[in-house]
Amino acid sequence: ARRAAVALIILEGLAVVVMISLAVAVIWRVLHGHGPQGVPPLIDLFIPTRGLTPASIALALSFGFLSFAGFEEVATMAEEVRSPTFTIPRVLLGTVIGGGVVYTLVTTAQVLGFGTDQAGMERFAASHSLLGDLGGIYFGKWCGDLLDILATFSALGCGLASVLGASRVLFAMMRELAPTSRLARLSAGGSSPVIASLCVIVAIIAGYAAMRLVFHGSGSDPFFWASTIGVLALLGAYFLVVLSAGISVFRDSLSKKRWMILIPAIAAAVIGYTLWVNIYPLQRGAYGIIPFIVLGWCLLPVLWMAIPPKSK
């Protein structure tokens, strides 16, 4: 786990430093009149575009949820931290705050860098590598290529983080359900669930192969299909979290805290509406089937809990 953490810090840390540097440089150039619109259109960052509907905002929120996805994975490392009750909450809070600052800065650079007018937004929407294209526009092709390479490293880091989190969850589940299983064992050194990690990697490869061979997806289709599954599953998980938080507050015997139920209620309404906009109306092809896959996956633990335990 320590080696994986070091690899993550190196991969993601380098990418984040370069990404922030590029964002600051682009904003600086735009503020000095070198942007696509000449005069910096800062006010456009705070004024919604005409005709913007709540559904459009909800779809944009999906991008926001996906951007923050994964911050909660640090909780899966609690058993490998010396002082989890002290470290984990602070890391979670720091990740959310730090991620919010970084994403706000980078998104500002992207919007100003491409331009806030209609032509700029069309270029923004058509870009397959926002930071890579920005680097190429403002600092030359070499910068765009460098950002694309770092984006690849960052993607590898995200994959490694996903394997770390999923393997710990699988290990914890099997430790409760089947303590004698090899999936419930740690490595020889007693630090990492190696077998669980290998199972997660095999499942990832099998899923990618199935999407390519069985469903005849292109090279990029598995990425977008998996991302859609991830976004919908995250929205469902976050909805259940805020719902349980609201129930907990409602059951609190201290009446002075009852007003706090407004916080999870508002969050549940926003997440629920965002989830609905992403599902309805159903799309054609794979994107019309994905919501039902996510629904079935989310119902599995409910069905499992509904099965009465066998009497000994």
Q: Give yes or no: residues 17 and 164 share one domain.
A: yes
212 found inside a domain: no
Q: Give yes or no: residues 174 and 236 share one domain.
A: no
| pLDDT mean across residues, the chain | 80
203 found inside a domain: no
Mean pLDDT of 238-251: 82
Q: Give yes or no: residues 155 and 38 share one domain.
A: yes
Spatial neighbors of 43 by CB under 8 A, at least 6 apart, are none
Residue-wise pLDDT tens digits, 159-181: 877 888 888 888 888 888 788 88
Torsion of CA 58, 63, 66, 71, to 10 degrees: -90
More confident residue, 58 or 146: 146
266 found inside a domain: yes
Q: Give yes or no: residues 52 and 172 share one domain.
A: yes
Domain limit, last residue, from 192, 227, 251: 192
Range of the domain at 232: 217-312
Residue-wise pLDDT tens digits, 169-219: 888 888 887 888 888 887 766 677 888 888 989 988 888 888 888 777 777
Give how many domains the chain has, as a whole number.
2
Q: Is the peptide bond before 281 cis (omega within 30 degrees of 0)?
A: yes
Angle, helices 221-251 vs 54-68, to 10°: value is: 90
Spatial neighbors of 13 by CB under 8 A, at least 6 apart, are none
What whole-number distance in Å separates Cα of residue 1 and Cα of residue 3? 5
Buried (b) or exposed (e) across 216-254, using 16+ Cβ within 10 A?
ebeeeebeebeebbbbbbbbbebbeebbebbeebeeeee
pLDDT tier for residue 1 given thresholds of 50, 70 and 90: low
157 found inside a domain: yes
- Among residues 61, 54, 143, the alpha carbon closest in space to that of 103 is found at 61
Torsion of CA 133, 140, 98, 117, to 10 degrees: -50
What whole-number distance in Å separates Cα of residue 57 and Cα of residue 124? 17
Q: Give yes or no: residues 40 and 148 share one domain.
A: yes
